[in-house]
Each structure stands twice: as C-alpha cells, then as structure tokens.
Amino acid sequence: MSRPSIPPAYTAASQQPLATLPLPAQLNLWLQGSRCCVEVGQRVLKHQLLAEADSEFGVALHAPTSGHIRAIGPLPQALPDAPLLDGLQLQPDGQDEALPLQAATDWPALSPLALAIRLQDMGVMGQHGPLLPLAWAAAAPPLALLIINAVENEPFLQADSMLLREQAAAVAEAMTMLGRILQPVRLVLAIQQEQGAAINALRSLAANQCWQLEVIQAPYPAGDDAPLLQSLARPEESSNSLCLPLAGIHAAGRAILHGEPCISRIVTVSGAVGQPQNILALLGSPVADLLACAGLPSQQHAIVHGGGLRGFALPDTTIGIHQHSHCLLALAAQAELIAQPCVRCGDCASICPSQLQPQELYWHCSEQQLEQAQHWRLADCSQCGLCSAVCPSQLPLLETFRQTSQQLLLAEQQQSAADAARQRHRFRQFRLERDKQEKAQRLAERAAQQAAKLAQQAATAPSQSTTPTASTADKQAAIAAAMARAAQRQQQRPDTAASVSSSERDAAIAANRQATIDAAMARAAARKAAQDAAKAAAAETSADSSEQAGLNQQQQALIQAAMQRANAQKAAAASNSPAAMDEDKKALIAAAMARAAAQKAARDAGEQEK
Amino acid sequence: MMSTPLIRLAPTLASRNRQQLLALLPAIAIQLWQLGPQALLALLLATATALLADSLGLAWRRQAIWPSLRQGDALLSAVLLSLLLPATPLPLLCICTGAAILLLRQLFGGSGSSPFHPVAGGLLLAAPWLPASLPHANLPLTLALLAGGLWLLWRGLLRWHAPLGLLLVVLIALPVGSGWLLGQSALWLLAGWVMSDGSSTPITSRGRLIHGQAAGMLCISVVTLTTHPDAGVTLAACLLLLSASAPLLDSLTLSPGRRT
C-alpha cells in the first residue's frame, strides 16, 4: 500500500494573522522536573522565578504574568490520559507588573555548558527536558551538524510556520547566536515544501548567514527528529549531530539575547472551531480559553491536544497548555468508534515508517506480553500514528503502543532501582567482610611487632623493664582515649561546614572514630603483650639464677635475648600460627576493653560538655 | 472517552466492503441481463440467507448484531456466491450460503478470525450438485469482473499480491493449455474478491505471492491432470487447502525486522 497523502484541507496554512489570547482568569502551570520556590498566597511579578530545575531533565518555571499563587500540588496535565502531576495555579491580577529584564551582553563568551544551564534556568524546553541536554553539553563534543526543525507535516500543525512568518528576524538572530556558541560545522534550518509563506519570510534573511535553509519534501513523519537527521546528515556527520525544535530556538534567542524567560508559545487552534487560527498564549492558559478565543460553538466536542495523527483526547478543558502544546483541535462529537477485529489486511505494516509489524505488536501489547512486544520492536515505534490512521478495523493501535511503552518504561525504572539496591547491599556485605578481615590481620601484625619489640627490651633490661613499659602503654592508652573523646566531641558539635553533605560528614566521623578506636586497641594489645613478656622474662631470670649460679649473668642474658629474638621473629613471620592466634585473641579482648573504656570516656566527655 | 481521535487516511472496513460490492455491480448487471429475473431472485435470497445466518451466529455468540452486520461481510459473501453459482437451484444456493457463513465464519469467531474464506467453502459445498459439463467461457462477465478488479486496484483497495501470483502461474503455464482458465469468470471472481481477503491468506506480501503461486500451480495441475472440468471449484478447493498453510507461510516470512 502506498503512503496515503494527507488531504490538503488539513494542511492548508491559515491566512489569519496571529491572535493574542486575552489574559485568562487562571493559569495552570506544570512543574516539569522543577522545585517550587514560591508559596501559596504569595504575589509574584511577571518573569519572576516560580520553580527552579531540580534535576538534569527539569527546567525552571517563571511567572507568565503578575498575580497570586493559589495552589501548588497535583493538577491534571495535557498529556495522554491527563495524569495528575505537580503543578501550580496562578491567579493573574490583571496588572501584568513585570520584573525588569536584564539582557546579558556576555553571551558570546558562554561555553556550551553555560549556555545549556542558562537555558534551563530560563525555562527553555526542547523535546525532552532543557533545550540543550546538559549531559551532552557537559561532554561538549564537536558538533558537525545542528538542525533546527521547523518541519510541520502532521495535519493541522501551523504554529512553527506562524512563528517563522511573524518572527523570522528573531529566529535568525537566535540561530546566529547558537551558531556562535556551539560552533557547528553546518547549521541547517529544515522546513517543509508546503510551508510557503514561512520559506519566503526566511529566504530574504538566509543570504550571507552562518545557516542554510533546507527544504524537504518527504511526507509525514519525515519531520521527526530521527528521520530528519537521517535524511539531512551526511554519513560522517550522523554520529555528532543535534536536532532542536524551532520554538525552543526562538525562546532561546529571547532568553539569551534579551534576558526574557520562556513564558508563552504559539498554539494552533483548529478543527470544528469558528475561526481556525494561531494564538499566542501564556503558558498555563486553560484549553477552554484558547478554544473560546477561536470561537468554539457550544455543541459537544472532543478536545484533542496535538496534531491530527499524534493527538490525544483531553478529558477536561481547564487543563493548562505547556511548552509542547503545538495544537488544539476541537472535533465534532462522533459516534463512538467500535473497533472491529483485525482482518489481517497488512496495511499497518506496509505504511509503518519504522518497518514494524503493528498487527503483531498490537496483539502482544493488548495481551500484555511485554517481552514479545519488545521482541517485535516496540522500542523502535516512533508513535507516529499512521497505523491507527489506516487501520480499516479502527483498532486503537497508537493508544495501545503508547500505554505499553509507558508500562515498559516504568518496569525498566523499577528494575534499575531494584538492581541498584541489590548492588548496594552486596557491596555493603563485601565491605563489612573485608573490614573484618583487614582489622584482624592488622591487629595480628601489630601485636606481633609489639611483642618482638618488647621481647628485645626485656632481653636487654630484664629486671627493670616491666614497669616503664607498662607505664608508657598506659600513657598511650590515655592518649588514645583522649583522641576518641575528641572525636566524639567533634561529632556532637553542630556541623561547622555546611557545604559538606550530612552523609559525607557522618562517614568521615565514623572513619575517624574507628581509626581512633583501632589505635587504642592496638596500644592496649601492645601493653598486654609487654606485660606478659616482662613477666615471663622475670620468672625465667629468677629460675635460672637460682639453679645455675656458676654461669655468667651476662652470658645468660645474651642467650635469652637471642632466644626471645628468635621467638619473636618466628611469630612475626607466621602471624597466623597458633601462637599468634593466641596473641590475636588476647589482643581482641584487650581491644574490646579499650573500646569500652573509650566509649565511657567519650560519654563522660559528652556529659561534661553538656 | 474517545481514545485517539484521528484523521482517517484509509477507508474503514464497512467502506471497503461497500466499494468491493460497487466493483461487482457491472458483473451483477451482466448476469441479470444474461439470466433475467431468476438471477435477481437468487441474489435476493442469497443475501437474505446470509444476513439471517450472520445474525444467528452473532446472537449465538452473544455479540452485538448490527455493528457487525453493517460492515457488510455477509452481504459481500452472498453476492459473490450468487455470482459463482449462477444456475443452481435456489434451495441449494441458500443452503450453501447459510452453511458457509455459519460454519466458516461464525463458528470460528466472526470475520477476521476464520482462516477459511466462506465463499470458497460455499462453492466447494455446492460442487457435487453442479452440472458435470464444462462451463463455457462467459466473456462479458469476465470483462465486467476485470473492469471491477482494475477499479479496485486503482482505488488501492485490492491486495494484489496473491492474485498476481496466481495470474503469473496461469500465464507461465499457457503452453500446458491453461489458457481456457482465463475465460472462466469464476477464476477472476476468486482471484479478485476471495484471494485478496486478508484473513485467509498470509499477511506479508511475500507470503501472499507464494500463496497465489501455490494456488495457481495446484489448480492447474489438478485441472490438466484430472478430468475435473470446473476451474472455479478446483481453485476454491486449492484456496481452502492453502489457507490452512497460511500460518506456516506467516511464520516463515514474518520477522520483527532489523533493530535500529
């Protein structure tokens, strides 16, 4: 089946001039990945920041006019099935009192990332999130081809054509700005053959500019980003090219060159309205106001958000428009469609621009077989709606694919969250195990070293070495306790460095405390070992001296020292030998005691501070 | 709530069936002119039977009757059968039509669900009672059908792959003596209105081409190797046989495609 042409009645450009929507009684704004920074009841001025982006994918929101914030919370949004998402209700006060705009003159010095962040702060949106994706801008790859997408070949859409007709100079200015900052090798404005008036408006401007006009003739959905990139990018450019929507470019120009945040957009209002036209409306304007402005007769109508093929029904006309509201259609209420069973005509497969098999996909999607749906390449569906438009049985193909894609996305997000949690848990277990092993090893080594050192000392000065060593060990333990106390105190003190996040601080404190306790334990173990060694040495000396009086004391001392040294060396060499294990155990007991002492000391210190 | 209200870029099922009926109008006129009021009576009786049988089946399956009936599948089947069985006794025509609709459409779950085309089934059912003499070539009827088929093709409503496969084989087999088949109106009726149906043929273009070629080869082999005279009945039998192999052809020719 050949691609059916879209009837010209739907694509004829409106001859009506651009209308401006009167100030609505209420604006219902959508917080798209942004955090509110105003309060209910507060009066805000036009252009005032209402919400700032709280993620890489969010954009800031500015007040479209002056007025009072009436509500902040979940509101139905102009999306398929009108889900409740975070929104903000602004009641205009009619004065339209604006903050002064600060036009930045430093824009030629902006880096791509700085530009992307500024656009995000100005609330300029692209297809998904900020106009320039922050991750892309941060990587700042060399840009071979930048396409400005002004193609409108979905039935009814005229907003971009109208924007070009009205604001061609501003758009050209914005493109020059972008070309200067992003430095693409080639900057192309793509437009459809049928958008004649817009092409004429641009032709006069296109001479001697850093951008070219590219007129495409392919039918719908050639204006989508992916097919457009495919058709315009040369093979060597295809990997580093970017496609941006025209409305976003215009808003970017206003934002960067004039300091004006994005607060309005052009919406095509068409269908069964009295006068189909393009209306410049503030973001958040209720759909009902736009339809009334275009003269909607009072009969029952289905309100469609979006173009003639991708559009979806809105259940409620109080929903506010957002930055992706290109078009609103009022359709005379039709007899409800009764979908007939699939007759396997195969038209959907022959029209699909992604070469999918929509009939198979539809079957698996409606049977909730998500794996099979993925096997039949649901991910490659561009949701162009052509299959639904040609299906003789009027099956809701597009709607089903949309819902299933949403489900898959949700499932994917949940899966990745679960994976991350599992990985975290495994790593924690591994870390605990590793810490335990390391600690035991460290303790054994230290104990062995201390024992060797003390044995040497005992050998050189067998009789009087006992008390001084013990006293130094005591001193060391006291120092450790003091350090532990200090660490505790530091922890209890209110945070001094606000910039450090609390989790980092906690981790640092814990590490510090652990280190201190470890030190105390090691020292206590050393003290114990020293005492043992000294005791043993003393006993041996006395026994030897009583039995073998004839031997020279000096000689005996030398032999003992040699023996002790040999023992110590053996212990040090094989720290996991049974003897070392005993030492280890003793050291651990000592460590526990030291820890208790340190805790007590810390507690005391805390109480004293209080 | 209306789900995805759209611009329709292609006619609906009911409209397609209406246009297929419209394309049959010249053939109906020729038959009326050739056979007189008896043909009109046969047409009316077959239509009434088909609608009755379809309603019965729908009621039995507890489905809404009118939305399905107004799609016109039953009507189209009845007209095709009355054209294919011109000089049969009226009771036989009614029985064949009713049985085909009830057994081959409604029993399988309505149009779209049945893997066998009711018209081919009805024709096969009537075969034992058909006159054993070789039907003579009916040139005016054939030309009228050809005109209707070409009109459908021009409107983009004819899924031409299977009929093309059949015609290719018939043309290639001309030396074997298959030329007389081209004069048979039944061949053109089955090729243009039965083989272009989606549910009894494979869904891919390649599969349909293979389906048509296989039907042609089978039909010509049977007609030339045996003494069975009626090309229409033979082709109908071949089509029923090959409809059963459509799932196989589907699984051989259908693939999710290259991942992008």
> Is B169 a residue whose pLDDT tops 80?
yes
pLDDT computed for residue A577 by the predictor: 45
Mean pLDDT of A348-359: 91
Q: Does A420 touch chain B (CB under 8 A)?
A: no
Distances (CA, A) of A5 to A111, A159, A161, A219, B16: 44, 21, 20, 8, 18
pLDDT at A471 over 70: no
Mean pLDDT for chain A overall: 82
pLDDT of B248 higher than 90: yes
B154 in contact with A, Cβ within 8 Å: no
Phi, psi of A329 (to 5 degrees): -125, 135
pLDDT band at A539, cuts 50/70/90?
low
The most distant pair of C-alpha atoms in chain B lies apart, rounded to whole Å, by 61
* B211 has a chain A CB within 8 A of its CB: no
Is A478 a residue whose pLDDT tops 60?
yes
Say what the pTM is: 0.74
Predicted confidence (pLDDT) per residue in B213-238, tens digit: 999 999 999 888 887 668 889 999 99
pLDDT at A485 over 80: no
Q: How confident is the model at residue A154, as a pLDDT? A: 86
Give phi and psi for A580, each to the nearest 5: -65, -35
What is the predicted pLDDT for the residue at A338? Answer: 75
For residue A609, name the pLDDT band (cuts at 50, 70, 90). Answer: low
Q: Which of B148, B133, B19 is nearest to B83 (CA)?
A: B148
In order of A190, A225, A408, the CA distances from A198 in angstroms are 11, 20, 40
Q: Give the strands of the sheet with A84-92, arranged side by side.
A: A27-30, A84-92, A67-76, A43-44
Provide the pLDDT confidence category of residue A426 given band limits of 50, 70 and 90: very high
Q: For residue B93, which amino acid is it?
A: L
Comma-separated ranges of CATH 3.40.50.11540 domains in chain A = 131-262
Q: What is the pLDDT of residues A192-223, one digit of tens each?
A: 888 888 888 888 887 778 888 889 888 888 88
Looking at CA atoms only, how far is residue A343 from chain B in angstroms? 4
A397-409 tens-digit pLDDT = 999 999 999 899 9
Range B120-126 average pLDDT: 93
CB pairs under 8 A between A and B: 121
What is residue B116's predicted lDDT score, i.e. its pLDDT? Answer: 93
Output phi, psi for A586, to 5 deg: -60, -45
Q: What's the rounded Cα separation, in Å, for the pair A121 and A132?
A: 12
Tell me the mean pLDDT in the region B132-143. 81
Nearest partner of A403 among A493, A312, A524, A500, judged by Cα:
A312
Reported as a single tens digit per residue, the pLDDT across B20-39 is: 999 999 999 999 999 989 99
Choose between B42 and A562: higher pLDDT.
B42
Q: What mean pLDDT comes out for the span A150-176?
A: 89
A490 pLDDT higher than 70: no
pLDDT score of A527 = 75
Distance between CA atoms of A327 and A312, rounded to whole angstroms? 11
Across residues A555-578, what is the average pLDDT? 60
Q: Identify all chain A residues contacting B204, using CB atoms and an 8 Å cutoff.
A: 346, 349
pLDDT of residue A499: 44
Contact between A254 and A262 (Cβ < 8 Å): yes
CA distance A79 to A311: 10
Residue A552 CB neighbour total at 10 angstroms? 9
CATH number (3.40.50.700, 3.40.50.11540, 3.10.129.10, 3.40.1190.20) of A131-262 reads: 3.40.50.11540
Please check whether residue A338 touches B, CB under 8 A.
Answer: yes
Return phi, psi of residue A511, to 5°: -65, -45
- A351-375 mean pLDDT: 92
Please, what sign has the CA dihedral across residues A74, A75, A76, A79?
Answer: negative
Backbone dihedral angles phi then psi of residue A43, each to the nearest 5 degrees: -95, 135
pLDDT at residue A19 tops 50: yes
Residue A587: its pLDDT value, please? 67
Record: contact A340-B156, CB cut-off 8 A = no
Q: How far is A99 from chain B (nearest CA, A)?
A: 42
Residues 296-315 of A with CB under 8 A from B: 302, 304, 308-309, 311-313, 315
Cis upstream peptide for A221 (omega within 30°): yes
Q: Where are the alpha helices (DSSP H) in A493-574?
A: 502-547, 553-573
Angle at B212 between CA A358 and CA B13, to 5 degrees: 45
pLDDT per position as a tens digit, A273-321: 888 889 999 999 999 999 999 888 766 778 889 888 888 888 888 999 9
**How far is CA A449 from each of CA A19, A292, A454, A531, rounded to the nearest angstrom?**
88, 89, 9, 15
Alpha-carbon span B228 to B249, nearest angstrom: 28
Could you tell me the sign of the dihedral formed by the alpha carbons of B223, B227, B232, B233, in that order?
negative
- The residue with greater pLDDT, A493 or B194, is B194
Helix, strand or coil for residue A106?
coil
Q: Which candidate from A354, A391, A399 shows the least CB-CB separation from B3?
A: A399
For residue A306, the SS3 value is: coil
A-chain CB neighbours of B67 within 8 Å are 338, 340
Average pLDDT, chain B: 90
Does position A537 have pLDDT exceeding 70, yes or no?
A: no
Chain B residues near residue A348 by CB distance under 8 angstroms: none
Taking CB atoms and an 8 Å limit, are B256 and A375 in contact across chains?
yes
- Say how many C-beta atoms besides its own lie within 10 A of residue B193's C-beta: 28
- List all residues 6 or more positions away from A208 whose beta carbon is below 8 Å from its beta carbon: none
